[in-house]
Copies of this chain bind each other. A is one copy, B any other.
């Protein structure tokens, strides 16, 4: 190695745009780190693959064929930050395309091991596997590891599985994929009204999905939350600079009937910063059969789950409730991403 490696601090002194260059090779995604990486055309390529995958899982033969596509590859699920559901979604996606898997799930392994650097630790795992799906509590760890591995003789793709306060790019992708499928017969994602409801300040899912959605033409966004939970200023500025028409409100019911998509999230009152959470009537940010009745018949309801009180279980049976489907879409889009990263998606047409 001729050059000297950047330290963690040097690496992150670069802008996201510059860092992103590292994650591509010959015009293809090499590592999956940030939602910024997904242009509309790349998303639509992935949606097509995911549609294809979903279709194939309907028949035993299709399932067998899918499992043959990456049966020569092995994935390491490095989840030193615990998350049973994201873990299982990725595991299922790996199994769907036939990958063998190993797992590291002990949070204590995210720190030093017998004095070994964590970088060495991850490099050890990269020796045994062809891909690492990583969720680690240390900010930026995934990205920095991808950088370090790229500078060894033997790199493998890394996918960010939603580490710490970092982005959760596959969650954003599955949200968009669910919008795409739901609006397929109805003009697509563009030219629709989207409400985001709940804790918009700290909810990581909303932020990433909003970023992806802002690329589509003529989307209007409604941010519905008590003032102390409204979206961050930088996100608001970014959206306005992108030409997105936005509305901030704390009156859910006044906008509900006009929405094409209502994206619900938890109001994380346990983290309330202002101390005023006790004085807020959270129930007005909930969906119940009563207010769902006022929604458009073509509208959809999303939720990244888990939910608490913000969607009443009676709503589950409503045909507009898409959150359980959204969960399954997560598996299809992750499987699609695996096929894409290993460049075997074209083989789907052989079936």
Contacts and interface: CB of A to CB of B under 8 A. Distances in A.
A84 B72 contact: no
A331 B128 contact: yes
What copy number does this chain have within its complex? 3
Interface string A127-168: 111000000000000000000000011100000000000000
A114 B84 contact: no
Contact of A102 (B92, B109, B266): B92
Given A88-B102, A89-B128, A266-B115, A306 B67 contact: no
B128 A307 contact: no
A305 B64 contact: no
Given A72-B64, A114-B306, A306-B121, A128 B88 contact: yes
Interface string A106-123: 100100011111001101
Given A114-B306, A305-B120, A306-B113, A317 B1 contact: yes
Contacts of A91: 102
A68 to B, nearest CB: 9
Contact of A125 (B60, B88, B120): B88
Interface of A: 1, 60, 63-64, 67, 71-72, 74, 76, 84-85, 88-89, 91-92, 95, 100, 102, 104, 106, 109, 113-117, 120-121, 123-125, 127-129, 152-154, 266, 305-309, 313-314, 316-317, 324, 327-328, 331
Given A88-B128, A114-B308, 14 more contacts: A67-B71, A74-B95, A76-B88, A85-B124, A88-B104, A91-B102, A95-B102, A113-B306, A115-B266, A116-B308, A120-B306, A124-B306, A152-B324, A154-B324
